[in-house]
Structure 1
Amino acid sequence: MESISKTKLWDRCEVFTLSQNMRLAQAQDHDKESIEEFANWILSLGDGTLPATVSGSEEEPSWIEIPRDLLIDPKDEPLKEIMFNAYLEIKTRYTDPVYLRDRCILAPRNKTADDINNYRLDTLPGQTRTYKSSDSICKSSGDVHDQDILYPVEF
C-alpha cells in the first residue's frame, strides 16, 4: 500500500488541522442547532467514540447506527435519489460553477464514481465531451533521440 506519508516528500509536507466549523459559523440561527448536532456526530464518528455493536461472528464492535435523517431512501432508483438530494436545482443551475462547486458526492470506488458521473451526465442537456491527457510522450519514434525535450512539460 502506497501512502504519501511513506515517501521522501513527507518530511517537506506541513500537516494542517481543521479547527473551526465554517458551515456552523455561517449558519442562520434556526439552522445552527441541527448543523452543530451533525458536526458533533461527524467528529464522534471520526474519533471512533460513537457507540458500536457487534455483528455476526465478529469479536469487536464495528457497526454504528446512522441517524435516519442522514439516510436517503433508495426506493427504486438509488442513483436518482442521491442525485436529487445532492443536486436539487440541477436542471436550472447546471451551468453555474458556484452551484456545482458547493456540492459533491463521495464514492468509495472509482467504478462507483464513474457510474454516478455517467448517470448525471446522461440527465443533463447538451453533448458531452471527453478530454484526454498524458503524463509522458510516446517514445515510439526512433528518428529523434531526445523527443521528450521537444515539448515543454506543460504540453
Structure 2
Amino acid sequence: MRLQRPCLSEQEKTEISMFSSWLLAIGDGLIGTLDLHDPQDTRNIQISPQYIIPFHETALTDLIQFIYDDDTLHNPSASTVSTKAIICPKNETTDEINTHVLNMAPGTSVTYHSKDTVIPHTGNNEDTDLLYPVEYLNMLNFKGMPPHKLELKVNTPVILLRNLNPTQGLCNGTRLIVTQLLPAIVEVQIMTGTSIGHRVYIPRINLTHTDQELPFSLKRKQFPLKIRYARTINKSQGQSLNKIGVYLPQPVFSHGQLYVALSRSTNPSTLKLLIVPNDHNKDNETKNVVYKDFIREINSQ
C-alpha cells in the first residue's frame, strides 16, 4: 500500500494502520448509517474532525491554502505542483476551483480567446451564422475541449488535451507547467511522463467536438490546454499525492468514488475534506455509494 513507508515511528505506523482500515471499510461499504432513499447501495458516514475543514463563507479559500500554500503559489516547481491536487466529483466544480486558485496566484494573467465555427451535420451552411452566432458558440464547453476564454499565468499547472508529439512526451493527459506566455505560442515545462523537465512550445490547433444532440460539430481553434489545480475524482484514479484536498459541494454519485478520492493520499496528515452541508447532512457527513452486489460477485470469482 502507498501509505507504508520506511523509517516510520510506532505512532505513525499505528495512525496509518487505522487510516488504512478506515479506507478499506469505506471501499467495502461497511461503515455508516443506511440511506433511507437507497438503503441497498448508499450509506451516510461521518468523517473524523482531523480531516475536516469546517464549512463557512471562506472555507474554500482555506482548503486551497492548505493544498497550495504561499510558497507553492509563489515558488512553484514541477516536483511540488505535480504531487498536490484538489479533487471533486464534477467538471463544473473543478473549473470553479481552477479559476479561484488562478486569481490567488501571483503574476499577471494573459487571456487567449478561441476562434469558434460550426460544421453543420447536414452539410448545408445556409443561415448557420444566424442560427448559431459566435457569442453562443463561445459559451459552449465540452469535456476534453479547452474553454473559449483560456486565462493563464506563468507557473500555472495545466494538462494537455490532445496528442501533439508522443515522441517528445506531449500526449493527451500530460501535465505541464507554464513557463512563458507569448502571443502565438505557450512555452511549458513537462511535469509527467518520460520527458520530465523538458521545455516545449504548445501552438494553437483546431479541435473538433461532435455531439449527436447538436445539429452541428463545433470547431474551436485554441491552445489544447486546461488549468489543472483541481481535477475530478475519476481523473485522479491511479495517482498518489503528497497533499490532497477533497471538495464535496454535493455528495459523490457513483460506486467507489469516495474511496478513490480519499485513498489518493500518501499520508493521512496531508488530507483535508470540505463538505458543503445541506438539509440532509452536516459539514462532517457525506454519502458513500458502494454496489455491494458487484463486490460480492467479484469476490466470488
Q: Which TM-score tier does this pair reach, normalised by the shorter chain?
A: 0.5 to 0.7
Aligned residue in 2 for 1:58: 37
AA of the residue aligned to 1:53: T
AA of the residue aligned to 1:90: T
Measured in 2, the distance between the counterparts of 1:66 and 1:127 equals 39
Q: Which has the larger radius of gyration?
A: 1
- Root-mean-square deviation (CA, aligned residues, Å) is 2.7
Measured in 2, the distance between the counterparts of 1:34 and 1:108 equals 27
Structure with more helix by fraction: 1
Cα gap change, 1:126 to 1:27, in 2 (>3 Å): farther
Post-superposition offset of 1:112: 0.6
Measured in 2, the distance between the counterparts of 1:126 and 1:115 equals 19
Post-superposition offset of 1:65: 1.5
Cα gap change, 1:38 to 1:134, in 2 (>3 Å): farther
Q: Is the aligned partner of 1:28 residue 2:30?
A: no
Post-superposition offset of 1:91: 3.9
Aligned residue in 2 for 1:113: 94
AA of the residue aligned to 2:109: T
Measured in 2, the distance between the counterparts of 1:27 and 1:79 equals 34
Aligned residue in 2 for 1:67: 48
Aligned residue pairs total: 114
Post-superposition offset of 1:74: 2.5
Cα gap change, 1:41 to 1:128, in 2 (>3 Å): farther
Cα gap change, 1:127 to 1:112, in 2 (>3 Å): same
Aligned residue in 2 for 1:85: 66
| Residues 87 and 94, structure 2, Cα contact 8 Å, conserved in 1 | yes
- How does 1:28-47 map onto structure 2 within 5 Å? 28-29=8-9, 30-47=11-28
Q: TM-score if structure 2 supplies the norm length?
A: 0.34
Aligned residue in 1 for 2:77: 96
AA of the residue aligned to 1:105: I
Cα gap change, 1:111 to 1:28, in 2 (>3 Å): same
Measured in 1, the distance between the counterparts of 2:73 and 2:38 equals 48
| 1:54-85 CA-partner distances (Å, limit 9, x unpaired) | 45x53626211211111111232121011122
Identical-residue share of aligned pairs (%): 21
SS of 1:34 mapped into structure 2: helix
Post-superposition offset of 1:110: 0.8
Measured in 2, the distance between the counterparts of 1:85 and 1:43 equals 25
AA of the residue aligned to 2:85: C
Measured in 2, the distance between the counterparts of 1:102 and 1:118 equals 19
| Residues 53 and 63, structure 1, Cα contact 8 Å, conserved in 2 | yes
Cα gap change, 1:46 to 1:134, in 2 (>3 Å): farther
| 1:20-40 CA-partner distances (Å, limit 9, x unpaired) | x12322463143322222222
Structure 1 unaligned segments of length 5 or more: list them.
1-20, 137-155
Aligned residue in 1 for 2:116: none
Structure 2 unaligned segments of length 5 or more: list them.
111-149, 151-185, 187-203, 209-301
SS of 1:58 mapped into structure 2: coil
